[in-house]
Structures are given as structure tokens and as C-alpha cells.
A = this chain, B = another copy of it.
Amino acid sequence: MEERAFDTGRRPVWCPGCGNYGILIAVRRALAELGLRPEEVVVVTGIGCHGRISDYLKVNAFHTIHGRVLPLATGIKLANPRLTVIGHAGDGDAYAIGLGHLPHAARRNVDITYIVHDNMVFGLTTGQVTPTTPLGVRTKSTPFGNPERPLNPLLLALASGATFVARGFSGDVEHLKELVKQGIRHKGFAFIEVLQPCVTFFNTYKELKEKVYRLEDEGHDPTDFEAALRLAQREDRLPIGVFYKVERPTFEEAFAHAMNPPPALRRLAPPDLSRLLESFR
């Protein structure tokens, strides 16, 4: 497969310089390098600038409502575990309105990859505060500065029991591509937080460029949970890479009784209810 096999040919409408371009390319390349066929992949996208990615990724897609990427993706994966399911959410989508689903997807360990385009701002609605906007930043909804301490998504994912926790940077496409590949290969819930500058409403490009470094460069054992917790709290510099990784049974496995074939591939037939009816006699 080539990268362009995953290109719908539509021209992205993101602002020039937007970090979403880097993510788009990283994902296309990852899919191509994994040798996946477009029809066996489903992306689920939230509402926001990030969500446009389903117009540009030539795979199956569900552009869902704001904040519900995880339940949608979970339903898809359970119905047909043979599909490769990837969720794309924004920081507003994932950490504001949709936050209630994240810890559950993590502990449930459903085998999907969840890529959060974290630009620390609501892009599509023209620049309001999100849960990851730094303290004090002025936005349209915080004209006197954000009064809320930002959320630490990595720490939250770790605390929730996620089995694969990584951070990427849209400005390092090759590295991000590798993370996406690892995330897709990981059997279980893969959480990838991507630092993605929004050049129009919160341009963090320069600062991120300076602060970001690859975990591999300083050495880190991704099976070390304590170390992952510590690294996730680092603020002076921002490590990118796989913070933590562990194998655990996936949620689909709990439904082995329903997977032969899975619901989506089942031939319709009248069920035999006679045994069930016994209890009503």
C-alpha cells in the first residue's frame, strides 16, 4: 500500500501551517506501512477541526457528534473485531465534553487506537479555552485569562489503566507515524496524545519545538509504570514517545461467545427461543 492509497483527493481546509496536516500524513503513512487495506480500517472522528480528517483519509469513517468518538469506536470494534478502528478526537472533544468515556475505554481495554489532536484550544468554534489550555491564557471565553489548572491527559490515561500511553508531536511526523503504527499494532486500548499547534488561535509551535524531545533519546523503559507517571508530570521539557505499554486481555475477548462470527458478519436467522421460554411456564 502506498500513502496515497489513503488519500481521498480532497484538499484539506485547515489553515496553512496547522498541525493537523502532520497528523494526517503520519496516519496515512502508518496505515500504508502496516499494509492495511482502506476497507478494513474505520476512523471515527469527533467534531472540531481535527474531525475533518475523515474527509481526507480514504478509509471507512464515522464523523460522529462532539465527544462521542470512544463509544462509537467501541461499538464498531465489538461488532466486528476484524476491523482496525482508530478514533480521532480534539482536546475539546476528548477532554471536555467527552472526558467521561476516556477512563472507561482505558480500563475496558478495547482494542482501538485513540489519537487526540491536542491544540489546547477549541479550533473550529474560533478559539475558546479547553481543559488543556495553560493557566492564564486569554481566549474568547477567558478574556481575563484561563483560571483553571490544565488537565494532564497522560497522567489521567495512566491512572485510568490504559495499556498503551504515548505522546506525539505533529511537528515530528516520522516519529508520530511510528507511534501510530505501534498504537495500531498494540492489542488493546492505545492512547496517543498529539501536541498539535493551532496556528490561528493558539500558536504553540515555537515553544513546543523547543520543549519536545524523544523519549528514546534519553532512554525509558515503557513497562515501568512509576517512571511513566513521573515522566507524564514533567513540564520543563515534553517527552514524546511511548510512556507505558502492557498486555492485558481486551474487552472483545470477554465476548468470545459472540464472535463466531462476530455480530456484524452474522447471517440473519430466526433465533431459537424455545429454551428461554421455559422460564415463563
* A152 is an interface residue with CB less than 8 A from chain B: yes
The oligomer's copy count stands at: 2
**Out of B99, B131, B155, B251, which one reaches A159, CB within 8 Å?**
B155
CB-CB < 8 A to A160: which residues of B?
151, 156, 159
Which of A7-15, A27-35, A101-109, A172-180 has 4 or more CB atoms under 8 Å from chain B? A101-109
In Å, the complex CA distance between A254 and B129 comes to: 15
A75 CB, min distance to chain B CBs, angstroms: 16
CB-CB < 8 A to A226: which residues of B?
230
Question: How many residues of chain A are within 8 Å of chain B by beta carbon?
Answer: 29
Chain A contact surface mostly? helix
B149→A109 contact, CB < 8 A? yes
A-B contact pairs, 18 of them (CB 8 A): A97-B100, A99-B99, A99-B100, A99-B104, A103-B151, A103-B156, A104-B148, A107-B131, A107-B149, A109-B149, A147-B251, A149-B161, A149-B248, A152-B159, A155-B159, A156-B156, A158-B159, A226-B230
